[in-house]
Amino acid sequence: MHLSRLAQAHPDKPAVVVAATGESVTYRELDAASIRLARLLADRGLMFGDHVALLIDNTPAYFAAAWACQRSGLYWTPVNHHLTVDEAAYIVRDCGARALIAARTLDRPAWEIANAAPDVEVRLICGGGETPDGFEDLDEAIAAYPAEERQGEREGYYMFYSSGTTGRPKGILPALTGDPFGTGLAIDHTLGGMFGFGDDTVYLCPAPLYHAAPTGWTLGTMRNGGTVVLMDRFDAGQALEYIERYRVTHVQFVPTMLIRMLKLPEDIRTRHDLSSLRTVVHAAAPCPVEVKHRIIEWLGPIVWEYYSGSEGNCFFLIDSADWLAHPGSVGRPAFGKVHILDDEGRELPAGEVGTVWFEETPDFKYHNDPDKTAGAHNERGWSTLGDVGRLDADGYLYLVDRRTDLILSGGVNIYPQEIENVLVVHPAVADVAVIGIPDPEMGRRVHAVVQPADPSVAGPELADELVAHCRRSLAGYKCPGTIEFAGELPRTPTGKLLRRLLTDRTVEETAS
C-alpha cells in the first residue's frame, strides 16, 4: 500500500502504461516524481488538510501529481477539463485550492482558471512547451528536490464534486484520518479483498480520471502492486484491442461502453483474444437487463456490478451468478443496512418502491452546503443519495431511478437545474424544464421543453439559438440534444414543476 515500498520491491515494473503508444512510467520513476513534488508543495507552505486542484488529462503526469498530494495529507480535486472556464474556476475557488497543477495541453484554460481563482498561490504546469504567465514548469521546479521520502507522511484524500441545490456543483468532503501514508483508503483494500487485485493485475482504465471511480480504481491498482493501462478516451474496438495486447486482467466500464462494444460488427468483436480477463466490473448507471445478459454470455460469469456514490455511504455488489438469479438487481450491501422509506419516512415492505436509505455507514458532508448535507440525512442518522428503488424478499436492491431529477447519460451525471438556470435567462424563454429521455446508446439524453415568450417564433431557428446560448455557458455534454416547444409547462399552484408528469408525457410522445 506504500508507493515507496512498492518502488523498492518492483523498481522497473510499469506502474502505468499509455495504451495507445506503450509509453510507461515505472514504480521507481513515479515514486521519485511524487516525492519531489510533495517536497515542493511542503516548501511552498501547503500543510495537512490544505487543498490542491488538478487540471490534467489522461496522462501519466496525473498520477505523479495525485500521489504527491496523497502522501502529503492534502485534499485534492481533479477538475473536469471539459467544463467551461467559469464552471471549472468555481470548483477551484469553492474547494479552497491553494495550488493548481495543470497539463500543458490545457494551458489556456488553466491560465484563465487561475486568473479567476486569486487564492491559488502555487501554479504548476507539466509537459513540454511554453509556460503560461504566472505558472512554473513543474519538472524544472521539482528538479532541485531530493527523491527521498519525508518523515511523517500522512494519507490525503481526493474530493470530488457533485450537484448542489442551486445547480452549482458541491464538493463531497471526506474526513482525513491522519493515518500514516501507506495505510491505504477503503477502496484500496476493497480491490484486493473483493476483486482479487494484486501484483499480477493489469487494469484497463477507459474513462476520464476526473471521475471518482477511474481515480479510485487506478490508484487502488497501484496500491496493490498492479499495472494501469491508460486510455486517453474510450473507443469500443480499441478497448478490445488493448485487452488482448496488454493481457488485461481487470477492467471497469459504464453500461454505455458495454452497449457500444456489443454493437461492434461481429468480426471485430470476436477477433480479439480476451482470455486474460478475470474480472469485468460495471457501475455508474443502470444497465439494461438485456445488455447484461448478452455481456455475461459473451465474456462469461466474470461480470460484477456495484452501486455506490462518491459520498461513500453505501456499496452494493453483485456477481454474475447472483445477478442471473436476480436480474436487474445491483446486489446487497457490503456494509451497513439498507431501508426503503416512503415520503413520510415509513419503512416499506419488500417489493414496494421508495427512497433508498442507509444505516450504520460512513458519514459525509457536502462542502459549504449545510442544507444539502442535512437533506441527505434523517432524524435517525441514516443517509441517502436520493435514489429510488425496492428490495426483493432476499434483500437484493433494485434501482428504479437514480436521483429523481438526475440525468445519467453514458455514465455521466447531468443536473437539469444547472441547464434550466442558463436557459431561463434567455429573452425568448418564458419557462423551461430539462429532463432525460431514453436513448438507445447513452441510456438517457438531455431534452429541454421550452415555453417561448412569443409562441410565433417557436421552431428550429430558435432551438438552434438556445443550444448555442447553452454552449456559451455550459460544457457541451450538458447542452440539450433536443428541444421541443410547449404552450405551458405543468406546475402546481405554488409553482412547483411536475417533472415526472412532463417526463412521462414526453417519453410517450417520442415513442409514438
In this predicted structure, what is the pLDDT of residue 404? 63
**% of the chain surpassing 70 pLDDT:** 97
Q: How far apart are CA 132 and CA 149, in angstroms?
A: 30
3-state secondary structure labels for all residues of 201-245: CEEEECCCCCCHHHHHHHHHHHHCCCEEEECCCCCHHHHHHHHHH
pLDDT digits (tens, 9 = 90+) for 485-496: 999 988 754 456
Query: What is the SS3 assignment for 53?
Result: strand
122-125, Cβ contacts within 8 angstroms, sequence gap of 24 or more: 122/41, 122/44, 122/46, 122/98, 123/99, 124/99, 124/100, 125/101
In this predicted structure, what is the pLDDT of residue 493? 47
Work out the pLDDT band at 167, boundaries 50, 70, 90.
low
pLDDT digits (tens, 9 = 90+) for 354-401: 899 999 999 999 999 999 999 999 999 999 998 888 999 999 999 875
Residues 6+ apart with CB under 8 A from 73: 47, 48, 49, 153, 154, 155, 156, 176, 178, 181
In this predicted structure, what is the pLDDT of residue 164? 42
pLDDT digits (tens, 9 = 90+) for 100-150: 999 999 999 999 999 999 999 999 999 888 899 999 999 999 999 999 999
Query: What is the SS3 assignment for 139?
Result: helix
Residue 402 clears pLDDT 60, i.e. is over it: no
Residues 6+ apart with CB under 8 A from 221: 191, 197, 201, 203, 227, 228, 250
Query: What is the SS3 assignment for 252?
Result: strand
Domain residues of the chain, as ranges?
25-177, 407-511
Residue 163 clears pLDDT 70, i.e. is over it: no
pLDDT digits (tens, 9 = 90+) for 405-452: 778 888 887 878 789 888 988 989 988 999 999 888 888 899 999 999
Q: What nine digits make up the cell of 104?
A: 500543458
Average pLDDT for 310-329: 96
Average pLDDT for 157-177: 81
pTM for the structure as a whole: 0.84
CATH number, span 25-177: 3.40.50.12780
pLDDT digits (tens, 9 = 90+) for 255-271: 888 988 998 999 999 99
* Angle, in degrees to the nearest 10, between helices 61-70 and 27-43: 60
> How many angstroms separate the Cα of 55 from the Cα of each of 32, 38, 52, 397, 423?
21, 17, 10, 36, 28
In this predicted structure, what is the pLDDT of residue 99? 98
Residue 197 contacts residue 220 (beta carbons within 8 Å): yes
Q: What nine digits make up the cell of 242?
A: 488493448
In this predicted structure, what is the pLDDT of residue 494? 42
CATH number, span 407-511: 3.30.300.30
Residue 283 contacts residue 252 (beta carbons within 8 Å): yes
Residue 205 clears pLDDT 80, i.e. is over it: yes
Which has more pLDDT, 314 or 495?
A: 314
In this predicted structure, what is the pLDDT of residue 223? 98
Residues 6+ apart with CB under 8 A from 512: none
Whole-number average pLDDT of the chain:
92
Return the number of other C-beta atoms located less than 10 Å from residue 233's C-beta. Answer: 11
Residues 6+ apart with CB under 8 A from 80: 87, 88, 208, 210, 475
